[in-house]
Chains A and B, each alone.
Chain A
Amino acid sequence: MAVAKRSFIMEHLRKAHMIELLAQGRRLDGRALLDYRPIDIKCNVIQKANGSAQVSLGNTQVIAGVKIEVGAPFPDTPDKGLLVVNAEILPLASPYAEPGPPDEDAIELSRVVDRGVRESDMVDLSKLVLIPGQKVRAIFVDVSVLNVDGNLIDATSYAVVSALLTTKMPELEVTPSGEIKEKDSMIPLPVSKIPVSVTFARIGEAMVVDPDSEEEAVMDARITLTTVDEGHLCAGQKGLAGGLTYEQIMFAAETAKIKGQEIREIIKKAVGSVG
């Protein structure tokens, strides 16, 4: 019976201690079940990018960069700009990360965060068209994970959102002959909402938010729910092989709205100071 050695094995003693504490409403690091770790967001850290944000969620650290290009739209949406979100877990982020093409975890991470941003209509893609059917703005958001300590989904999501909120791109105009010219001014993206993801881990019967890597090593199921400013849900993803009861899902939905609003204020403060 060989176990994959490339993942973290939790000591029984420590797991038992964790379960004991959870029954009392506490976690190993002293947090309450619904407490997030300290969230730190710094914007405009990469000047060469159109927008950027470095986020730490406890010891989990990620950095997102936005690059805006001009390209052809997708054939089935000729009147919309492009938005692509891509995340990579760098080998320097964890002893268990290997160099190479993205594995299923990295792909799921990219796609879940992408959906949260896309489905919320955070960026009005119809305002990014230059020549309908031919030339639109293409927004690439790339995220590099620098240190893994659980809850990559939320950290990546806050970094992507903060970077988009502080992105500046050159104003463009289309000449009568169909050329695209850069004007002198820089303008922000057409952004109207701030989607916020909240990720839960089910450990036994307890539901906790913002799991760290020790909690992720023992969790039975995971669910991420993203809400927009009005409180509506716009994206969701259940992860891992375990299940969730109806009550747990409803509890998560209620909590995602409340925690989402708290974190939305944190993001607003971080981007507001950039101007």
Chain B
Amino acid sequence: MGKLINDGIRVDGRRVDELRPYRLEVGVLKNADGSAYIELGKNKIIVAVYGPKEVHPKHLALPDRCVLRCRYHMSPFSTDVRKTPAPSRREIEISKVIREALEPAILVEEYPRTAIDIFLEVLQSDGGSRCAGITAASLALVDAGISMYDLVVACAAGKVDGTMVLDLSDIEDKEGEADMPVAVMPNLNTITLLQLDGVLTHEEFKRGIDLALSGCRKLYEAQRKALMERYFKGGLNQQEEVE
């Protein structure tokens, strides 16, 4: 019996395989080409996509595909202790892994000599923000009309008081034994992000991946619903024909 889990119930009342409450919305920023917003637990993250667009300076452009740039940034008021506005080394690394999680899903050869910029801003952070950011960024990319092989959805699993759990909260992240964010392209069954922070046995590792993927499946349904809500409410138009 540890202090973070008692009888299979966690500090916030969840079972070991339960996600925190979540909410997704598509198309929240007027200027961006595509945008989305996610809440997961206390996480509040807004994502904007600009592109495809011209690359400045021109010599950075690639002749046969787009340049993909990603910026994960936390607002100074997003954490318990105020964070200085300048990007930290942690944010720079997270920007890189997020980009590498999303790139496999994008048809980059369709946009030669252009750039696609993805901006993630964490307005409030609560553990698992890079996963929540990836889940919202996929929606923003679809909203921008960028061709994709699949969506990308992400969720973290971890070890807390010796038990594998799904979707670590802030306190579980800080005081637990392991943290494992996972991102997947659900229809292609391809994992595009995997990081591990902590010690796990083989069984724990497998259980963690299974848990994370189960969380991803639920969030993928939420992604589909958010897109349908934004684009298809009103139903299928059978009679009208277009050129």
Which A residues are within 8 Å of any B CB, using their own CB? 5-6, 45-49, 52, 59, 61, 63-67, 69, 86, 88, 90-95, 99, 101, 140, 142, 144, 146-149
Contact = CB atoms under 8 A, between A and B. Distances in A.
A271 to B, nearest CB: 17
A69 B117 CA distance: 35
A238 to B, nearest CB: 27
Given A48-B77, A65-B76, A149-B30, A144 B56 contact: no
Nearest to A86: B85
Interface string B109-146: 00000000101010111100000000000000000000
Taking chain A's interface residues, is the majority helix, strand, or loop, or is none over half, making it mixed?
A: mixed
A92 B119 contact: yes
A143 B211 CA distance: 37
A69 B82 contact: yes
Interface in B29-72: 29-32, 35, 42, 44, 46-48, 50, 53, 56, 71
A47 B78 CA distance: 9
Given A6-B56, A93-B31, A94-B31, A46 B44 contact: yes
A48 B78 contact: yes
B7 interface: no
Nearest to A48: B124
B29 A146 contact: yes
A86 B76 contact: yes
11 contacts: A45-B123, A46-B123, A47-B124, A48-B79, A48-B80, A59-B30, A67-B77, A90-B73, A93-B29, A142-B75, A146-B29
B85 A148 contact: no
Contacts of A93: 29, 31, 48
Contacts of A65: 75-78, 123
A87 to B, nearest CB: 10
A105 to B, nearest CB: 15
Interface in B165-209: none
Contacts of B31: 59, 93-95, 147-149
A66 B77 contact: yes
Given A59-B31, A67-B81, A95-B53, 7 more contacts: A5-B56, A46-B44, A48-B125, A69-B82, A90-B73, A140-B82, A142-B77
Interface in B75-95: 75-82, 85-86
Contacts of A69: 81-82
A232 to B, nearest CB: 31
Q: Nearest 4 CB-CB pairs, A to B?
A: A65-B77, A92-B48, A92-B119, A67-B82
Contact of A49 (B29, B77, B86): B77
Contact of B32 (A66, A92, A140): A92
Contacts of B76: 65, 67, 86, 140, 142
Contacts of A140: 76-77, 82
A91 B119 contact: yes
